[in-house]
Structure 1
Amino acid sequence: MLYSMVEYQRAMIAAWADQSVAALLSPFNSFAYVPGAQDFASRWKELLCRNTASDQPAFGIAAIDCDGVAVPVLERLVSESPFCHLRRFEAARLEPRAEQQATPIVLVCAPLAGHHAVLLRDVVQSLLQEHIVYVTDWTDARHVPVSAGSFHLDDCVIHIRRFIREIDAGPLHVLAICQATVPALGAVALLASQGEPTPRSLTLLGGPIDARRNPTAIGRFASSYSLQWFRRNLVHVVPKPYAGAGRRVCPGFVQIAALGATQVSALWDLYRESCLKLLCGDGGRKPASWQALLDYHAVLDLAADFYLDTVHSVFQEFQLARGTWDVQGQRVRPQDITNTALLTIEGGLDDISGCGQTHAAHDLCHGIARGDKRRVTASRCNHYDLFSGPAWRSQIFPRIRDVTRRYG
């Protein structure tokens, strides 16, 4: 019932977006004569409709800037399942690299935590300067038919393990962000325990490896209620006409509601910036913050089984940290990882993954030599700074690039 009500509200917002743009550009409105008003109005409609869109948002990275030269980017789909698309990005180099300078490969494990993978646009664009990039682009569960079966936390781990095998773990580096740090570490540990090749490096960025350490409001909330409470209050059934009608999910609109205060602030900053650009006659350019906000609004529904598994395993039982986590009957043993360098990065102002939660991986991965372990705490970074904006580009990305260069 709640899902259907929200769908009705989305339809109303979409209709209101058309009307508000028409009012802004009405010949009776003086705003219509401001230079750049048409561009501003179209961008405002785009922002409003992002909340009502049901399509899988595209990365749309056509080119990157390399020393002042626009270098085309090639994107293709290389593997897929009903629940995930593995996308490959590569910048077309002006000169072929010598074989001894083979381009390093990075698998970016996007978090399955309510946002589409496009939230990591900055990450992909930065990595493309020197890397071939693969990204796990998780599917909105509302579009997955019930006939495709269930999707659990175990399935997330198995997907990442399969992608590592398909790409070839030998020359590969894995970068996992936020919630994805747990299944990514689990996937690499399973490979190590089975005697299979593991990635050259594993970078874990702002994730709840051990949510007992400095628990945040999210962790405290998850541990304060029973799993039955979450099932009763936060799980809903996808309505028609979506392909996933009948599937039980934790809806994307729950994520938007939980982060509403952050959005209001971002919207105000964005509105202020855009008005200044219009007044300066620079309305034709699309501010980077507009794209960032569009990406932030690109939310997805989580399969209920996966969502409840994560709450139970990561935030209530702390199974990875306690050494009690089994994936499809096999114990996850991070201590079996020996041939993979480990880099953990935290934000000193992170209020989603508390300080120490990601660095806890070093205690679990005691089979990795001390010289192959690094930990970084960016003192002035909040959670989103870790993978977007100036802090990512100037503080975080260079540390990741150092590791991929060193371990080739």
Structure 2
Amino acid sequence: MLYSMYEFNRMAMTPWRAAANATRRSLRAPWNPMGETIAGRTMAAAAELFESVTRRYGKPEWMLEETEINGRRVGVSERAVWQKPWCNLLHFERDHDALMAARGDTPDPKVLFVAPMSGHYATLLRGTVETFLPDHDVYITDWIDARMVPVIEGRFDLDDFAAYIREMIAFLGPDVHVVAVCQPGPPTLSAISLMAQDGDPARPASMTFMGSPIDTRLSPTVPNKLAEEKPYDWFAGNLIHTVPAPNPGAFRRVYPGFLQLAGFMNMNLDRHVDAHWNFFTHLVEGDGDSAEKHRAFYDEYLAVMDLSEEFYLQTIRDVFQEHKLARGEQLHHGKPVDPSAITDIALLTVEGENDDISGIGQTQAAHTLCSRLPEGLQMDWIQPDVGHYGVFNGRRFREHIAPKMKAFMREQGAEALARR
């Protein structure tokens, strides 16, 4: 019922958004002298603000059409190289001829970014991908909005997530470096652990976990405490709703993206209110650069996707309430998951000093779980002065974190196959 009400409200606002757009366009038309007055700019700014806060934001584009290598511009195109109902594996292919001209035939390390399936689209890692494109062969998981997956495609839970990761690693081969950003840390560690337990020859060269909830008992944050304070039945009874028609995933039970977004916004409501007020004043003052930065950020931040009921609830129970992987009790389709089986896959953990989503120590717990991994194959880094988003994006990521990750991958990649 809640989902249907949300959809009805969105559709009911359509003519008002159209009117706001028409008002904004007419006031900003070069032939309209009122557009240059304070009253005109104020009305246009109010119309744009109204339209932006009532719109449903679609999946953003990657907009990564080229990169720079040794001073040369190299074209980039995205292509799905592996597909299943719940995920596409995207490859950011660099133009071969331009790449050879810029660097020669020296192969770059292959890296798989496992994007979060926690409400936002994989494009949230656009800056991460952009930073690695000049000197890495980049792949990323592009998870599908549960609202868009027909019921006939079946269920998708945390075990399926881990199975997908294992399949993609096997598809890319043993020279791949796996980077799990935030939420996928536990299922990615589970997938790699299972590969080690089975002696899978396709197990990766290295694994990196960034701001991941490997063990949320350590330095619990507000979201961690909320997950433990509320019983499992509360999440199942209050946060799961049915996708209404005519969406492709009609009648599927999901955790709606708009509820996840409401939770994100409420964590820092004052900051978001101030940001939108500043956006309004920038528009009135004609500060186009500041207004465009606001648009770019919120076009991404407000674009959210639904999560399947079983994936969301199993994550709440296994990761945040019962801490199964951290306690050594995680099962994958009934098979025990044992991270201590990992003995030859290099491990890097990255945390942010001011992370209010995954507290310090939660990601480092991967080192404790991989108890038989030689010390020479382990590295940990805590980045000062960054929060959760800064762990994988922004200036400090580009200048401090990414160089450490790249050096780690190159060093370990050269030795990985020799260890086996």
Query: By the TM > 0.5 criterion, same fold?
Result: yes
Equivalent position of 2:78 in the other structure: 75
Q: How does 1:79-118 map to 2 (within 5 A)?
A: 79-92=82-95, 94-96=98-100, 97-99=103-105, 101-118=106-123
Q: How does 1:375-394 map to 2 (within 5 A)?
A: 375-394=380-399
Equivalent position of 1:339 in the other structure: 344
- One-letter amino acid of the structure 2 residue matched with residue 20 of structure 1: A
Q: How does 1:31-50 map to 2 (within 5 A)?
A: 32-33=35-36, 47-48=52-53
Measured against aligned partners, the alpha-carbon deviations of 1:166-200 in whole angstroms (never above 9, x if no partner) come to 111x2100000111111111111111100013211
Equivalent position of 1:172 in the other structure: 176
Distance 2:208 2:68 in 1: 25
Q: How does 1:234-313 map to 2 (within 5 A)?
A: 234-261=239-266, 262=268, 265-266=271-272, 268-269=274-275, 272=278, 287-313=292-318
Distance 2:33 2:245 in 1: 43
Structure 2 residues not aligned, in runs of 5+: 414-420
Match of 2:353 among 348, 351, 355: 348
Equivalent position of 2:21 in the other structure: 21
Measured against aligned partners, the alpha-carbon deviations of 1:228-257 in whole angstroms (never above 9, x if no partner) come to 111100000111111111111000011111
What is the alpha-carbon root mean square deviation over aligned residues?
Answer: 2.8
User: Which stretch of the first structure deviates more once superposed, 63-72 or 131-140?
Assistant: 63-72
Equivalent position of 2:190 in the other structure: 186
**How far 1:388 sits from its partner (Å)?**
1.8
Partner SS state of residue 114, structure 1: coil
**How far 1:275 sits from its partner (Å)?**
5.9
- One-letter amino acid of the structure 2 residue matched with residue 6 of structure 1: Y
User: Which stretch of the first structure deviates more once superposed, 193-202 or 256-265?
Assistant: 256-265
Equivalent position of 1:154 in the other structure: 159
CA contact (8 A) 1:153 1:310 kept: yes
Distance 2:48 2:27 in 1: 19
CA contact (8 A) 1:56 1:140 kept: no
Distance 2:269 2:122 in 1: 18
CA contact (8 A) 2:56 2:303 kept: no
Equivalent position of 2:61 in the other structure: 58
Structure 1 residues not aligned, in runs of 5+: none
Partner SS state of residue 26, structure 1: helix
Distance 1:127 1:319 in 2: 33
Partner SS state of residue 102, structure 1: coil
CA contact (8 A) 1:24 1:31 kept: no
Partner SS state of residue 25, structure 1: helix
CA contact (8 A) 1:25 1:31 kept: no
CA contact (8 A) 1:123 1:387 kept: yes
Equivalent position of 1:200 in the other structure: 205
* Alpha carbons of structure 1 residues 273 and 129: separation in structure 2 relative to 1, 3 Å: farther
CA contact (8 A) 2:156 2:308 kept: yes
CA contact (8 A) 2:24 2:47 kept: no
Partner SS state of residue 248, structure 2: coil
Larger radius of gyration between Structure 1 and Structure 2: 2
User: Which stretch of the first structure deviates more once superposed, 151-160 or 66-75?
Assistant: 66-75
Equivalent position of 1:319 in the other structure: 324
Partner SS state of residue 309, structure 1: helix
Distance 1:64 1:286 in 2: 26
Partner SS state of residue 344, structure 1: strand
Distance 2:147 2:282 in 1: 39
**How far 1:391 sits from its partner (Å)?**
2.3
CA contact (8 A) 1:18 1:45 kept: no
Distance 1:203 1:105 in 2: 13
Partner SS state of residue 394, structure 1: helix
Partner SS state of residue 217, structure 2: coil
Partner SS state of residue 80, structure 2: strand
CA contact (8 A) 1:157 1:187 kept: yes
TM-score (norm 1): 0.90
Measured against aligned partners, the alpha-carbon deviations of 1:66-107 in whole angstroms (never above 9, x if no partner) come to 4664421121011111111111113336342555x3111110
Distance 2:376 2:287 in 1: 54
**How far 1:48 sits from its partner (Å)?**
4.5
- One-letter amino acid of the structure 2 residue matched with residue 84 of structure 1: C
User: Which stretch of the first structure deviates more once superposed, 11-20 or 378-387?
Assistant: 11-20
Measured against aligned partners, the alpha-carbon deviations of 1:34-61 in whole angstroms (never above 9, x if no partner) come to 8xx8x98998688447x514x5433131
Partner SS state of residue 86, structure 1: strand
Match of 1:397 among 390, 396, 402: 402
* Alpha carbons of structure 1 residues 72 and 292: separation in structure 2 relative to 1, 3 Å: farther
**How far 1:308 sits from its partner (Å)?**
0.5
Distance 2:317 2:298 in 1: 31
Distance 1:406 1:45 in 2: 51
* Alpha carbons of structure 1 residues 356 and 30: separation in structure 2 relative to 1, 3 Å: farther
